[in-house]
């Protein structure tokens, strides 16, 4: 009985409650490795959330906007449909599209929640995924949405097979799966890492997990089966009879060393030397762990022009790396012997492994030659210590830079045991004294090449708005994240209709920020049409004389509204928010739709046909024709209270139905009086919101309370003689781009205006209140930042991306930044002579092209010795002129201090 009842339909509230209880139970249970989660289409899930009311609970609304006025009553969703998430929907081989984004394309549900939803709705297909541990972090788990996908090549006949296996599976499990797939029994087999069609390393069963073997998504692995020769420890003997035969390989006899320093074999996962470059089917390409016996290097080796192979959406990583490996002080440091500074004991570091891996990569990139390098070893280290960057989705190059700078600092921190130092109160001491003391305390715990060249110091001032208590602190920074002041605006024309029939429809043109949302449009439109405090606006898109959609989410970006669309707004009274919305669609004698739909409200409770007829009369009232106020003599005006009026030829204002001139040429006075008084009936039919179905509305219909009722109004000659339909026709476009209209380019902003926006005084947010020691209360203090101490390398992050739960946006604003002589002297508050020069020159840029999720990263970097710029686009490197590097794609800027004359230490 229990299983049968679980399939019975529940009310929306019951479904919501059941799923919420399951989610709460899941939240109280610890996730462990091997747990199952299910991938579910977010498109379907949002429909279910709207149906059950979950979607509304999270919307933060303005006081003038209420949920019930914006949202129709959503239908029950159909069967679960995950097919649009799949590459191939044929058969049972369900492979997810590689670029899906959690929260946008899909959601992850626990096994219990999936089972319950599937019981109710059926459909599918089911897409279960296992929880795996992440990297070296304890008790850190993630759902493996994309298991490792490998292309197995059988050396015996060159046949290829697709292998799907967890990246946390052992190499032994890979061998077992391959043997089972090919029906191999006791034969001796060996599987090679065959990345880029080159033999790199025999996969040894001693490896703990596949991710430690550095296998990449979609790469090749090569299977060789021994007929008569014994295999041991990855040492190969000749195998004959095919073109992919094994060639003897000697294991590496020496550990990778750092610039002649002590052996670091415990910290380097070196590959065997690559003896197969000449046999490669692809262009020559190095592997970072190529068994290099590194020596102390210099820039005289003429390197720095090698590209980085894209390992699957790793352009963000390649862009960040190229900027860092072309940072002059870091190049000098990592080309020298830095082995003595590797901190293996730092509990918040990575045992030096990140620094060693980055150093190896930098040395390879500065080695002679331009062969692209595959940074597989570095990516594997990154996944171990920063699981957020694992997988094959696009990430943020600035977030990676922030992690790398902080991680390199901890791995190279010269302080082996951080002392505890208690901060002293300022006690009205001079800022210079307090700032120097804070910097010394910081350096006593943090001392590395990163601190030496990349860290500066802020002055942060907080002022209590109640007692005026002032708090000043001096904090270190690694980079500046600057906002982009928006100068781009958008003109939008919206036609406002009166839901109570108190005025004529009126178009309003408002100007708002281009990257705003529906809420901004509603506020601007409310101001333009003098919206009363007891009124609200319902936005809708009209297409082919029907309401195509209601713009229900106030936080939806305005970019979703196109210039050629027709958007209307209906003025409705807030007190009617619980009543039925009556939508009136107009139809001609030829049964074709015409005009613009009207929306009004019926009273609360059950409604009759007569109530609907009266509501239609009321909302059509402003369209009445009279001899005294013929449409040809009307002019649109806007009264102070927001109601539209009609002005006749004599200048008299008519706000309603005049006592005079009620007759028309074709309708006698009695019939017109009947129409005005709601006696005569319109020809109305019930229909759906698309105006497709149609059933005549009888006189004795009784409508129970519902969210929305849609009717068709048939316009006969009588209606055309009494009402002027022209006011419902020819809706203006949101923005008319006529031949005379000039497209103005978005105004460029300067880097200095971004810096000034960052440094301006502003109140803290309500979620970031400051505890005032005088008031003993949390206060929304006024905060002011100032630059106090600037580093040798200044990293400037332009905040092009903004994220919230409902809104993701990218600003493509062009920022005009100096390439040389960036003078920040007036922004630095410290006047100490030791502060050094405040003038900087640009040497690298991390670029981002395109929109969110589907964009691409590249880098521009300058070879200082050549005084020449290059474009690093993954594997491809090409020269570029300095005039070409200024683009709206600039995302992270890298500046180096210009030495003052006679100063060789800067």
Phi, psi of 265 (to 5 degrees): -60, -25
DSSP symbol at 336? S
Q: How far is it, in rounded angstroms, from Cα 259 to Cα 334?
A: 9
CB of 547 within 8 A of CB of 597?
A: yes
Q: Which residues contact 646 (CB under 8 A, 6 or more apart)?
A: 504, 622, 629, 634, 635, 653, 654, 655
CA distance readout (Å), 199 to 23, 220, 231: 48, 10, 16
Q: How far is it, in rounded angstroms, from Cα 472 to Cα 430?
A: 11
DSSP symbol at 865? T
Phi, psi of 328 (to 5 degrees): -50, -50
Q: How far is it, in rounded angstroms, from Cα 415 to Cα 105?
A: 46
CA nearest to 349, candidates 258, 263, 257, 418: 418
Q: Choose the catalytic residue: 442, 573, 735, 856.
A: 856
CA nearest to 459, candidates 831, 840, 895, 838: 831
CA distance readout (Å), 555 to 61, 73, 286, 560, 803: 9, 19, 48, 11, 12
Kind of pairing between the strands at 123-124 and 141-143? unpaired
Residues 321-354 as b or e (16 or more Cβ within 10 Å = b): bbbbbbbbebbebbbebbbebbbeebeebbbbbb
| Cross-strand partners of 535 | 573
CA nearest to 74, candidates 116, 5, 16, 124: 16
Half-sphere exposure of 62 (CA within 13 A, CB side): 20
Q: Choose the catalytic residue: 64, 190, 315, 871.
A: 315
C-alpha angle 650/655/657, rounded to 5°?
95
Kind of pairing between the strands at 123-124 and 80-81? parallel
Per DSSP, the residues of 15-55 read HHHHHHHHHHHHHTS---TT-EEEEEEHHHHHHHHHHHTHH
Q: Which residues contact 798 (CB under 8 A, 6 or more apart)?
A: 482, 484, 754, 815, 890, 891, 892, 893
Q: How far is it, in rounded angstroms, from Cα 183 to Cα 230?
A: 20
Catalytic (active site) residue 775 = no
Per DSSP, the residues of 803-827 read E-SS-EEE----EE--SS-EE-GGG
CA nearest to 861, candidates 320, 95, 93, 235: 320
- Please identify every residue annotated as catalytic: 315, 856
């Amino acid at each position: 009985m229990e299983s049968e009842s679980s399939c019975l339909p529940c009310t929306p509230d019951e479904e919501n409650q059941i799923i919420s209880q399951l989610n709460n139970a899941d939240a109280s249970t610890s996730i462990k490795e091997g747990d199952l989660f299910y991938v579910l289409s977010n498109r379907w899930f949002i429909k279910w959330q709207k149906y059950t009311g979950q979607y509304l609970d999270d919307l933060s609304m303005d006081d003038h906007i209420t949920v019930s006025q914006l949202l129709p009553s959503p239908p029950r969703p159909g069967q679960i449909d995950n097919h649009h998430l799949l590459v191939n929907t044929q058969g049972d081989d369900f492979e997810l599209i590689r670029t899906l984004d959690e929260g946008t394309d899909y959601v992850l549900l626990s096994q219990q929640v999936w089972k319950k939803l599937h019981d109710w709705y059926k459909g599918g297909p089911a897409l279960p995924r296992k929880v795996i541990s992440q990297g070296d972090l304890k008790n850190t788990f993630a759902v493996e949405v994309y298991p490792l996908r490998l292309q197995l090549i059988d050396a015996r006949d060159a046949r290829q097979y697709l292998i799907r296996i967890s990246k946390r599976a052992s190499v032994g499990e890979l061998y077992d799966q391959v043997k089972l797939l090919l029906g191999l029994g006791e034969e001796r087999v060996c599987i090679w890492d065959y990345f880029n069609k080159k033999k790199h390393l025999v996969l040894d069963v001693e490896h703990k997990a596949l991710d430690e073997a550095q296998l990449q998504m979609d790469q090749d692995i090569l299977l060789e089966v021994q007929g008569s020769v014994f295999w041991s420890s990855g040492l190969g003997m000749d195998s004959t009879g095919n073109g992919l035969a094994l060639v003897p390989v000697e294991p590496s006899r020496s550990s990778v060393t750092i610039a002649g320093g002590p052996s670091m074999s415990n910290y380097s996962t070196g590959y065997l030397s690559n003896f197969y470059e000449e046999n490669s089917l692809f262009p020559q390409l190095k592997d970072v762990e190529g068994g290099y016996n590194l020596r102390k290097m210099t820039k005289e080796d003429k390197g720095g022009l090698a590209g980085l192979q894209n390992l699957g959406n790793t352009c963000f990583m390649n862009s960040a790396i190229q900027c860092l490996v072309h940072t002059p002080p870091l190049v000098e440091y990592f080309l020298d012997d830095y082995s003595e500074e590797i901190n293996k004991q730092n509990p918040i570091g990575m045992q030096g492994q990140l620094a060693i891996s980055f150093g190896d990569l930098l040395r390879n990139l500065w080695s002679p030659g331009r062969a692209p390098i595959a940074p597989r070893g570095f990516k594997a280290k990154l996944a171990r210590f920063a699981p957020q960057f694992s997988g094959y989705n696009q990430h943020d190059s600035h977030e990676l830079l922030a992690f790398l700078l902080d991680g390199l600092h901890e791995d190279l921190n010269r302080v082996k045991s951080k002392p505890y130092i208690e901060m002293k109160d300022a006690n009205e001491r001079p800022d210079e004294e307090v700032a120097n003391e804070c910097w010394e305390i910081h350096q006593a715990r943090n001392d590395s090449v990163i601190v030496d060249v990349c860290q500066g110091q802020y002055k942060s001032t907080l002022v209590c708005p109640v007692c005026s208590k002032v708090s000043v602190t001096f904090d270190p920074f690694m980079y500046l994240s600057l906002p982009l002041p928006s100068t781009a605006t958008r003109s939008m024309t919206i036609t406002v209709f009166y839901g109570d029939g108190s005025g004529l429809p009126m178009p309003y043109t408002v100007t708002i920020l281009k990257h705003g949302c529906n809420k901004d449009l509603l506020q601007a439109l409310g101001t333009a049409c003098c919206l009363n405090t007891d009124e609200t606006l319902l936005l809708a898109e009209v297409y082919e004389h029907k309401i195509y959609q209601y713009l229900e989410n106030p936080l939806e970006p305005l970019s979703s509204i196109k210039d050629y669309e027709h958007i209307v707004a209906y003025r409705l009274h807030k007190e009617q928010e619980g009543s039925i919305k009556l939508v009136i669609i107009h139809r001609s004698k030829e049964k074709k739709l015409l005009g613009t739909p009207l929306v009004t409200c019926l009273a609360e409770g059950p409604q009759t046909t007569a109530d609907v007829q009266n509501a239609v009369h009321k909302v059509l009232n402003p369209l009445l024709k009279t001899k005294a106020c013929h449409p040809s003599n009307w002019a649109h005006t806007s009264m102070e209270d927001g109601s539209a009026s009609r002005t006749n030829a004599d200048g008299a204002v008519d706000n309603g139905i005049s006592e005079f001139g009620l007759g028309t040429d074709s309708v006698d006075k009695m019939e017109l009086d009947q129409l005005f008084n709601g006696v005569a009936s319109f020809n109305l039919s019930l229909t759906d919101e698309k105006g497709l179905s149609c059933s005549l509305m009888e006189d004795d219909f009784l409508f129970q309370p519902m969210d929305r009722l849609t009717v068709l109004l048939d316009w006969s000659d009588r209606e055309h003689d009494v009402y002027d339909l022209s006011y419902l026709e020819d809706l203006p476009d949101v923005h008319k781009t006529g031949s005379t209209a000039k497209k103005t380019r978005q105004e460029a902003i300067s880097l200095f205006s971004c810096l000034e926006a960052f440094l301006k005084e502003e109140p803290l947010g309500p979620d970031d209140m400051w505890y005032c020691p005088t008031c003993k209360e949390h206060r929304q203090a006024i905060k002011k930042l100032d630059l106090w101490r600037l580093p040798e390398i200044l990293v400037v992050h332009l905040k092009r991306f903004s994220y919230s739960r409902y809104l993701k946006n990218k600003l493509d604003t062009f920022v005009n930044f100096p390439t040389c002589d960036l003078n920040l002297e007036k922004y630095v508050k410290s006047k100490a002579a030791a502060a050094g020069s405040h003038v900087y020159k640009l040497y690298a840029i991390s670029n981002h092209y395109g929109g969110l999720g589907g964009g691409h990263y590249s880098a521009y970097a300058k070879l200082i010795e050549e005084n020449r710029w290059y474009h690093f686009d993954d594997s491809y490197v090409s020269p570029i002129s300095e005039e070409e590097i200024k683009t709206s794609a600039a995302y992270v800027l890298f500046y180096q201090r210009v030495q003052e004359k006679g100063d060789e230490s800067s």
